[in-house]
Chain A
């Protein structure tokens, strides 16, 4: 059966949330707010939250700090995945990946297509793995965050999700 098996145990993980935006503050960062709210509501720990400007070096430095932090299991960013000149989140974080999770982009676009149609091709949602840390980059719109979290990431970060999920893989990520 696909889906959540309620009889299994939920294992919380530590998730850091990063908003990429030149203009938002904590008072106006709606997509970061709703991501942070849903992370904690799902039962996970919000390990950190910040806003960084659309600056490739700053984005990469923040994500690298979280990759190096053994307490942080997952990084999720929102924003900077579009096609305009200032959109550089994928360029900033994909060089940090040891493994790219190509399927995430495929599935995200399938889900997002149901909501926004062809507009989904203008966002470049990506995911990867670096030093035992899962990294997801979502677009900056509230709708994209809801699609990405509710329909994809939250399920893969739920240890009760069958037949597979990312949390059960965590102990095996540094197998040699």
Chain B
């Protein structure tokens, strides 16, 4: 099993420091790929001010670990890191950080995409969009399910 660091963060985390520490921890890797997701205001008159991510400490983390395991089983990764914010995340703040290290670039690129595609639709976290005049629980979009389906596998996280 490859080296793994998966955690939930209930306060803002330093995404640049995490990326640097990740890279330095795998000197034998030929490739490191990473992804940062941040809260987007989206367009329109009533922009998103923040997301609230409702979570359950044990179950939410377990669902992320299942996604991590599926990625590790599919690609020969040297190391994998997932940090997911929970609680209130302001617009512009990082909400998720995913990094993979491998001998060759293709594995890392693909594994990061795979993890993100499943985090978007299968993770046990419940997102609420907070706007100036409304608050709405949101669900994965059709595009999110399409992104996930191209991997032709299922991960049961519930």
Tell me, rounded to whole Å, the shortest Cβ–Cβ distance linking A146 to chain B.
7
Contacts of A38 in B (CB 8 A): 137
Q: How large is the interface on B (under 10, 10 to 19, 20 to 34, 35 or more residues)?
A: 10 to 19
Query: Residue B124 contacts which of A30, A37, A146 (CB distance < 8 angstroms)?
Result: A30
Whole-angstrom CA separation of A38 from B128 in the bound complex: 10
Interface flag for B58 (CB, 8 Å):
yes
Query: Residue A33 contacts which of B56, B128, B137, B139 (CB distance < 8 angstroms)?
Result: B56
User: A41, B59: Cβ atoms under 8 Å?
Assistant: no
Interface flag for A107 (CB, 8 Å):
no
- Tell me if A's interface is mostly helix, strand, loop or mixed: helix
Closest-by-CB residue of A relative to B124 is: A30
Query: Residue B58 contacts which of A27, A141, A146 (CB distance < 8 angstroms)?
Result: A27
Once A141-B158, A150-B137 are accepted as A-B contacts, the answer to whether A28 and B58 lie under 8 Å apart by CB is yes
Contacts of B124 in A (CB 8 A): 30, 142
- Give the contacts of B54-102 with A (CB-CB under 8 A): 54, 56-59
Interface flag for B13 (CB, 8 Å):
no
User: B158, A37: Cβ atoms under 8 Å?
Assistant: no
- Give the contacts of B118-141 with A (CB-CB under 8 A): 124, 126, 128, 135, 137, 139
Contacts of B57 in A (CB 8 A): 27
Interface flag for A121 (CB, 8 Å):
no
Interface flag for A34 (CB, 8 Å):
yes
User: A41, B58: Cβ atoms under 8 Å?
Assistant: no
CB-CB contacts of A96-134 with B at 8 A, as 1s and 0s? 000000000000000000000000000000000000000
Tell me, rounded to whole Å, the shortest Cβ–Cβ distance linking A139 to chain B.
12
Whole-angstrom CA separation of A29 from B137 in the bound complex: 19
User: A30, B56: Cβ atoms under 8 Å?
Assistant: yes
Once A27-B59, A28-B58 are accepted as A-B contacts, the answer to whether A34 and B126 lie under 8 Å apart by CB is yes
Query: Residue A37 contacts which of B58, B59, B126 (CB distance < 8 angstroms)?
Result: B126
Kindly list 19 other residue pairs between chains A and B, CB separation below 8 angstroms, not including A33-B56, A38-B137. Answer: A27-B57, A27-B58, A28-B56, A28-B58, A28-B59, A30-B59, A30-B124, A30-B158, A33-B54, A33-B59, A34-B54, A34-B126, A37-B54, A37-B126, A41-B128, A41-B135, A142-B158, A146-B139, A150-B137
Question: What are 16 pairs between A and B in contact, CB < 8 Å?
Answer: A27-B56, A27-B57, A27-B58, A27-B59, A28-B56, A28-B58, A30-B59, A30-B158, A33-B56, A34-B126, A37-B54, A37-B126, A38-B137, A41-B135, A142-B158, A146-B139
Could you tell me which A residues sit within 8 Å of B by CB distance?
A: 27-28, 30, 33-34, 37-38, 41, 141-142, 146, 150
Q: Which 7 A-B pairs have the closest CB atoms?
A: A27-B58, A37-B54, A33-B56, A30-B59, A28-B59, A34-B126, A142-B158
